[in-house]
Amino acid sequence: TGSDVAVRNLKLPADFIWGAATAAYQVEGAASQDGKGKSIWDTYSHSVPSRTNGENADVTCDHYNRIDEDVKLMKSLGMETYRFSIAWSRVIPLAGHDDPINEAGIAFYNRLIDALLAHDITPSVTLYHWDAPQALYDRYGAFLSTNEFRVDYTRYARLCFARFGDRVKSWVTFNEPYIISIFGHLNGSLAPGHCAEAGNNTMMEPWRVGHTIILSHASVVQMYADEFQPSQNGKISIVLNGHFYEPHDAAKQADIDAARIRLEFYIGWFGDSIFLGKDYPASMKQYLGARLPSFTFNDLELLKSACSKNAFYGMNHYSTKLARQLTTPADEDDWTRNIEESSVNSKGEEIGPASSMPWLRVAPGGFRKLLNWVWDRYHLPILVTENGCPCPGEIDLEVAVDDQFRQRYLGLYLDSISQAIYEDGVKVEGYYAWSLMDNFEWSSGYGPRYGIVHVDYGTLKRTPKNSAYYLQETFQKRRKDQV
Ligand code: GBH
C-alpha cells in the first residue's frame, strides 16, 4: 500500500512520542453511573435526537467500565501515551464553585491514570472536551457568562491538579475553542446548539464564548504556574484545531489574502492572545468591530504573564481547504467576510481524495505548511494532539479492519511531520492518532468511524485495525533504527 512507501523509513527525533486520543463523552458511556451529573451533550442528544443521527453516548464504547482491557490494548499496540478528557460533570456534578465533589468520579480517573502508569503509558489530560455541565448552562449559560464561568472552571481545574497532578504531567485546558464557539454557538450543529433559528444572538455569542475560553485558559495557566508547577513540574497548554487554507486561485491577491484571513480567524483568534499575549488579530477587529469583546488592561496583563507559561502548541489537524474571496457584497452579519471555502481550486483540481466526510480530504502538503505557519507565528514546540480520518466505503468488519485508506493517510501525514522537522526546522514533539477506537462522532452519531481500533457497538468487542498495527510497526522500527 501507499503507506509503506510514505513512511518506509520514517525519520523522527528519538524523544518523539506517539499514542492515541479520545474524549470523555465520545467513549466513556456510563452516563449516570456513580453519581455523574448531566452535561450539555446529554441534553443535546436526548432532547432532539435527530441532531445526533438519532443516537446518544449513554453507552458508546463503555470505556468507563473497560479501562483495564483498553489500557492493555494500548500497551499491546506499543503506545507510549494516551490523551483523554475528564468529564467535569463526573467530578463536580453540579459544577458550581461550592457544589459537592463526587469522589466516585475522582476514583475513576485515579484508576485510569494508575492503570496507564502501571503500563508505562504517559497520560495527557484534557480538562474540557465539549461536555459542559448542564447545571452551569442552566444557571448562567456556561460560556456566555465570562466571569462566572471563569470562577467555576478555575475551581474545577484546581481540583484536578490537586487530585491528579502528582501523576499527570501534561495538561490541556480546552479542546478546540473555535469549534465550541462557532459550532456550538453559531451553527448550532454541536451542543448547546445555539443558532439564529433557535433565537440566539449569533452576532455576539460566538465571540463572547471565545473570549471566555481565552480568559479562563489564561487564569488556569497562571494558577497552575503559581500553585502547582513548582512541586508538580508538569506542562500545560491548549489544543487549537484548524484546517490549512490555500488560495483558490494562487495568482489572485484577493484569494491569497482570503487564505491568510481564514487562518487568522480560525487560529489567530485564540493563538495571538494565548501564546503571544496580544490583542485579537487586526483582521478580526476590523471586520467584527464592536461584536468582538475587548480585553481590559488587567486582561492583557494576565495574558502577557500567562502566555510564556504554555509549554507547547496542541494541534488538532485533519485537512486543507481552499479560500476564495467572493466579490458579491456580504450580508452585514456575515462573519466570514464573504470568503468561500471549497475543496476544488480555480483550475478544477481537487485538494485531495475524500474520506467519508466531505470536508476531510487527504492533503498532507497542507499539514506541513500549517506546522510551519504555527511554528513561525508562535515559536512553540508542537504536539499533534489529533490526526486521523474515517475511511470511505466501509461496509463490514472485514473491510473496516483492512483500512488501507487510513494507513495511507496516517503514513502521509507522519511523513509531513518528518519533513517539517528535518527540512523546515519545525519542532514537533509527539503525535496522537484520532482516535484510539471508533466512538460517538458528535452530530454524526455512530456513522463515521475514526478509530484505529474497531468497536462492534453490539458486543463492544474491540478489534485493532491494520492501521493500528501499521503505526505500531512504524514506530517500533523507527526506535530500532535509532539504537
Ligand atoms: C475533532 O474535531 C474533535 O476534537 C474530536 O472530538 C472529533 O471526534 C474529531 O475531530 C473528528 O471529527 O465546516 O465543513 O469545515 C474536529 C472538528 C468540526 C472539524 C466539524 C470539521 C466540520 C467541517 N471538526 N468541522 S466544515
pLDDT tens for 121-133 read 999 999 999 999 9
Q: In which element (H, E) is residue 339 found?
A: strand 339-342
Active site residue 332: no
- Please state the atom number of ligand 1 nearest to the C-alpha of residue 439: 8
Q: Nearest to residue 237, comparing CAs of 384, 97, 369, 367?
A: 384
Mean pLDDT across the stretch 404-422? 97
Q: What is the pLDDT of residues 26-59, one digit of tens each?
A: 999 999 999 999 999 999 999 999 999 999 999 9
With pLDDT > 90 as the criterion, what percentage of the chain qualifies?
Answer: 93
Q: Which of 28, 55, 386, 441 is catalytic?
A: 386
Q: Whose CA is nearest to atom 17 of ligand 1?
A: 179
Q: Nearest to residue 26, comparing CAs of 388, 413, 399?
A: 388
Whether cis (ω within 30° of 0) applies to the bond prior to 192 is yes
Burial (CB count <10 Å: 0-12, 13-18, 19+), residue 259: buried
**ipTM computed for the complex:** 0.94
Question: Hunting for cell 486561485 — which residue is that?
Answer: 249
Q: Whose CA is nearest to atom 15 of ligand 1?
A: 359
Residue 20 has pLDDT above 90, yes or no: yes
pTM: 0.97
Mean pLDDT across the stretch 415-443? 98
User: What pLDDT was estimated at residue 394?
Assistant: 79
> Which of the four pLDDT bands, split at 50, 70 and 90, describes residue 8?
low
What is the largest distance, in Å, between two alpha-carbon atoms of the chain?
61
Q: Whose CA is nearest to atom 7 of ligand 1?
A: 441
Distance 359 CA to ligand 1 centre (A): 9
3-class SS of residue 463: strand
- Please state the atom number of ligand 1 nearest to the C-alpha of residue 239: 4
Q: Which of 28, 55, 148, 176 is catalytic?
A: 176
Alpha carbon distances (Å) from 298 to 48, 212, 294, 302: 41, 15, 11, 6
Q: Whose CA is nearest to atom 8 of ligand 1?
A: 441
Edge to edge, what strands does the sheet with 320-325 contain?
Answer: 244-247, 320-325, 339-342
User: What residues are in contact with ligand 1 under a 6 Å CB criterion?
Assistant: 23, 26, 175-176, 179, 183, 241, 316, 359, 386, 434, 441, 450
Pocket test for ligand 1, best of 434, 440, 449 (most atoms within 8 A of CB): 434
Active site residue 69: no
Residue 141 has pLDDT above 60, yes or no: yes
Distance 317 CA to ligand 1 centre (A): 9
Asked if residue 254 lies in contact with residue 247, where contact means CB atoms within 8 angstroms, the answer is no
Asked if residue 441 lies in contact with residue 35, where contact means CB atoms within 8 angstroms, the answer is no
Distance 207 CA to ligand 1 centre (A): 19
Distance 389 CA to ligand 1 centre (A): 10
More confident: 155 or 7: 155
Strand partners, 171: 125, 236
Distance 435 CA to ligand 1 centre (A): 12
Whether cis (ω within 30° of 0) applies to the bond prior to 283 is no
Beta carbons within 10 angstroms of residue 210's beta carbon: 24
